A and B are shown apart, each in its own frame.
Chain A
Amino acid sequence: KAGVTQTPRYLIKTRGQQVTLSCSPISGHRSVSWYQQTPGQGLQFLFEYFSETQRNKGNFPGRFSGRQFSNSRSEMNVSTLELGDSALYLCASSPRTGGYEQYFGPGTRLTVT
């Protein structure tokens, strides 16, 4: 089976802009979670979608949003980018929701200048 894919892999944006990141889960997986990874804060949970419904959301401002499509592909959007949003954004998929094992993609490296 193909693994989790994320596009784009690298992105440079300017403060105030918005960005959309895409994630395609492993075939058959209906749960997609997003994480932000930074050197200072480590890996932090953003949100999880299962069958197109958001199941849980981390402690991030409303500028961070996401959605999931009927084919389980997911997108996350960050509006009004700030310098502190520079991070590696990781997507993970799982065949089920509820804290089970997740399989991660390679990530999107976002740099905000």
Chain B
Amino acid sequence: AQSVTQPDIHITVSEGASLELRCNYSYGATPYLFWYVQSPGQGLQLLLKYFSGDTLVQGIKGFEAEFKRSQSSFNLRKPSVHWSDAAEYFCAVGAGPKYNQGGKLIFGQGTELSVKP
């Protein structure tokens, strides 16, 4: 079955420290991969996406993610965290048009990020 796992439910980092959020997926083929961020009471904002090509992708707000096919992972990183980065982060996968799944995205359970001053 298709699934997305975010092993860390909650992470706390100090402001200015580096950040890595983990995401592993289980899929029949290389899916389309996304990271979203959600602030309390808000919708989801797209941080970055990966379809193919360069395995290191840059996103908004200084975030980047690296696709590792051998590990079925798509981890999100940021070199220096700001207090405003505190939010919940979701990894998601889409099947791509070849698999006739329509627009369905499968989401991980989310990782809540707290930032210490």
Q: Residue of A at shortest CB range from B90?
A: A43
Q: A100-B94, A101-B49 are in contact. Are A43 and B107 (CB under 8 A)?
A: yes
Cα–Cα distance between A3 and B93 once the two chains are bound (Å):
22
User: Are the CB atoms of B104 and A107 closer together than 8 Å?
Assistant: no
User: Are the CB atoms of A106 and B43 closer together than 8 Å?
Assistant: yes
Q: Mark B85-101, 1 if CB is under 8 A from A, else 0.
A: 00000101111110101
Q: Is the interface of A mostly helix, strand, loop or mixed?
A: strand
Instruction: Report which of B32, B36, B49, B109 forms a contact with A104, defined as CB distance below 8 A.
Output: B36
Query: Cβ of B95: which chain A residues have Cβ within 8 Å of it?
Result: 98-99
Query: Cβ of B36: which chain A residues have Cβ within 8 Å of it?
Result: 104
Q: Which of B92, B95, B101 has the most CB of A within 10 A?
A: B101
The total of chain B residues at the interface (CB under 8 A) is 30
Q: Which of B97, B105, B108 has the most CB of A within 10 A?
A: B105
| Minimum Cβ distance to chain A for residue B11 (Å) | 17
Q: Which of A31, A98, A106, A109 has the most CB of B within 10 A?
A: A98
Known: A33-B105, A98-B102, A100-B51. 14 other contacts (CB 8 A): A31-B103, A33-B103, A43-B110, A48-B104, A55-B103, A96-B97, A98-B103, A99-B32, A100-B94, A101-B46, A104-B44, A106-B42, A106-B43, A107-B43
Chain A positions near chain B (C-beta within 8 angstroms): 4, 31, 33, 35, 42-43, 45, 48, 50, 55-56, 58, 90, 92, 94, 96-107, 109
